[in-house]
Chains A and B, each alone.
Chain A
Amino acid sequence: MPPSCCGCLSQYTHHHLAVFLLTFFSYVLLHSSRKTFSNVKVSISAQWTPSISNDSAQFSPAETWENNRLFADEKQATLFLGALDSIFLFSYAAGLYLSGVIGDRVNLRYVLCFGLCGSAVVEFVFGTLTEWLHIYNVYLYCGLWVLNGLLQSAVWPCVVAVMGHWFGKTGRGFVFGLWSACASVGNILGAFLASSVLKYGYEYAFLVTSIVQFAGGVVVFFGLLTSPKEVGLSLEEATGLGPVETETDSHKPLMSDEEEEEEQVEAYARRRRSAKPQEDPPPEPPQAIGFFQAFCLPGVLPYSLAYACLKLVNYSFFFWLPFYLSNNYGWKEAEADRLSVWYDVGGIIGGTVLGLISDFMGKRSPVLVISLVMAMGALVGYSRSPNDQLINAVILAVTGFFIGGPSNMISSAISADLGRQEALRSSQEALATVTGIVDGTGSIGAAAGQYVVSLIESKLGWMSVFYFFVVMTGGSIFFITPLLIRETRDLWRDRQALRRQL
């Protein structure tokens, strides 16, 4: 492959670019349709309920104002929509465990396309077809949304696995940090799509996002290379630097790129030369890892639990922030929506910068822990933010940086690290399974959190919600601590060894 130009990126081919963009936009489209649902909630609940006039007189004609009576009033409809959110998150979490396991056994491209196109069809039926046919039924909606959660869950493990196949450990933190902006970009795209067609009716918001998503699935089907092996590049060759090999540094746990670059490159070149002839006869299809086997991989359980705590906080911001801003500061809904974008912006920058730092350090957990400690401070600071939109936006971006950043890192770069660690030399296909486990556990935390947050808010007020977030962030640190201790010890030992050499 002709390598694309310039400096440190020279290891990447145009295949890398295509894979990066395809996986990025797969998840952008998926998240944009998720955002669409939350942006059309007002229109849907209006469609499901009769009009309420302030005196008892009813508006006529009835077919325009009174005939849809799925719910008596908008409050009940809002409750149902919240229940749909929870249903979605739980079925999404359950699906993540399942689809990761499937993704490692079936061609990732097929699973990804099936997830994208299948969930597009379900969203079309949910939002467009039921409206065109005037079928309003609570059980139908619930069933469809469970199905949607299961189908959508197929996407994340697949895109992370594909990215993990293509992008080796070197630079992974940075590449994945940049790449994990996909969710936030999806939010912005979804908000844009929904707001531009909402005036034609909410069914068209669903129609447009689901058809765009379906088209994305088709493009992925024709364009995605799931692994460098498909075009005859070996995993190592693809990035120049593959997962850390056992023979040279078997004492090291995940991700250690402490050696001199030249030495490493030389070693890989040698290995490549020697490995080539052996690999040419059809290589054995790598065995997929078992679900419980994956759970027991070093690092998977701690990071899963840490991510459960962190995703709870992260998704609470996603769901509750505009409501908190308009509720607590009395700002208009549009202003609150606009302001809450800064949390996403902070998350994108945080994920990229922290990823870059962790690439340079060669360890991820110290960066995570420092960032999370800062996050606790940022949370306390944000809860005391004055009633000023500029200051609020700045603190919000900082909070997003320290919470969204680590969150993005765990769900993408670290999941990929865990799925390609050296304990897996014999069975390569663990990427999707591990990603599914980490993100699935996180989603359970997020789903449970939505309920807990609303409970704490109604009983104890917003201040307690923020303390709850601080505690959860602390929990996240707690679960990473064993890894932190091990990795800093390694880091320290490597430094010592290096000093002794000099």
Chain B
Amino acid sequence: MNMNAVYSWAEIIAIVLLFNVCFSTSYRRTETQPQVCALCGGSVNNTAVDLFCSSSAGRIKGRCCLKNNSISDPERIIGLDLSNCSLTHVDNLQGVSTVVMIDFSINPIVNISDTVFEGFGDLNFMILPPHVACPGGNTSWEKVELKEGKRLCEGQKNMCNQTGHLSVYCPENSLCAPYGPGFSECSCAENFYGYKCLRQGDFPALVVFGPLAASTVVMSLLLWVTQRRKAKNQ
């Protein structure tokens, strides 16, 4: 993190909280996120995120919209509304990579690095301050527009299906998957795992070594009885 800049009190809290979020939660297993959701006060009534949340049957908690697909699943953050939060800086959002909609509007943000959104494969709608470009550039989005002093980035393009520029051909045993605006990842195909997805299935240790151990004991005994039992030690 860039600590050279001078931050206001709220920003330092924000950064610390985001920092905590990314270390206290593991990837894609987002427990409820009180920190990032309580990043700033105010309500999200009738904002874009609020409307999106109620339409997709989520529940609002602080600045977040939470939803679980099934009862056993932990709740995931699908919406994040940090509008009007006095943020100048967005550095690390790893804990909320399941998010579908983000609102950063009405913040003094200068610039957001593309890498912040690496891994945000579901992200499909962003509202940004007007001078901030959509992450990954305009080519990563279906539709980019300026509306009512906000920049809207709609519809994340799938980098795997791109023809021409930046098309990624994944190596054997792996499949290309969207990995955030402008990013793609090569994740191992079904049943494959490990470095370079070279491994497949679980080694049946019992099936292999059980009979091997048994036959070793049997053969040792058999040979001992028929051969070495009568041997004189030289």
Using a CB–CB distance below 8 Å, which chain A residues touch chain B?
14-15, 18, 22, 43, 46-47, 51, 53-54, 57, 59-61, 64-65, 67-68, 107, 197, 199-201, 204, 207-208, 211-212, 215, 218-219, 221-225, 227, 229-232, 285
Contacts and interface: CB of A to CB of B under 8 A. Distances in A.
Instruction: Say whether chain A's binding surface is mostly helix, strand, loop, or mixed.
Output: helix
B168 to A, nearest CB: 7
Interface string B195-234: 1111111110000110011011001111110111011101
A105 B198 CA distance: 47
A199 B234 CA distance: 47
A22 B226 CA distance: 13
Given A18-B226, A64-B186, A222-B223, A230 B234 contact: yes
A60 B183 contact: yes
B185 A218 contact: no
B179 interface: yes
Given A15-B227, A201-B203, 6 more contacts: A47-B196, A64-B195, A215-B213, A218-B220, A231-B232, A285-B234
A200 B201 contact: yes
B128 interface: no
B14 to A, nearest CB: 27
B23 interface: no
A63 to B, nearest CB: 8
Contacts of B203: 197, 200-201, 204, 207
A222 B224 contact: yes
Contacts of A15: 227
Given A59-B168, A212-B212, A219-B223, A200 B200 contact: yes
B227 A18 contact: yes
Given A18-B227, A59-B171, A229-B234, A199 B200 contact: yes
Nearest to B209: A211
Nearest to B208: A208
A36 to B, nearest CB: 15
27 contacts: A15-B227, A18-B223, A46-B196, A47-B196, A57-B166, A57-B168, A59-B171, A60-B184, A197-B208, A199-B199, A200-B200, A200-B202, A201-B198, A211-B209, A211-B212, A212-B212, A215-B216, A218-B216, A218-B220, A219-B216, A219-B220, A222-B224, A223-B219, A224-B227, A224-B228, A225-B228, A285-B234
B170 interface: yes
A211 B221 CA distance: 19
B82 interface: no
Contacts of A285: 234
Contacts of B232: 229-232
Interface of B: 118, 166, 168-171, 174, 179, 183-188, 194-203, 208-209, 212-213, 215-216, 219-224, 226-228, 230-232, 234
A68 B198 CA distance: 14
A453 to B, nearest CB: 30
B199 A201 contact: yes
Contacts of B221: 222
A64 B196 contact: yes
Residue with the greatest number of chain B CB neighbours at <10 A, chosen from A222, A225, A229: A222
Q: Across chains A and B, which 4 residue pairs bring their CB atoms closest together, nearest first?
A: A223-B223, A222-B220, A200-B203, A215-B216
Contacts of B168: 53, 57, 59
Contact of B195 (A47, A212, A221): A47
A321 B168 CA distance: 37
A423 B190 CA distance: 68
A363 B202 CA distance: 56
A64 B187 CA distance: 8
A210 to B, nearest CB: 12
Contact of B219 (A67, A219, A229): A219
Given A15-B227, A57-B168, A51 B179 contact: no
B230 to A, nearest CB: 5
B185 A223 contact: no
A61 B186 CA distance: 7
B195 to A, nearest CB: 6
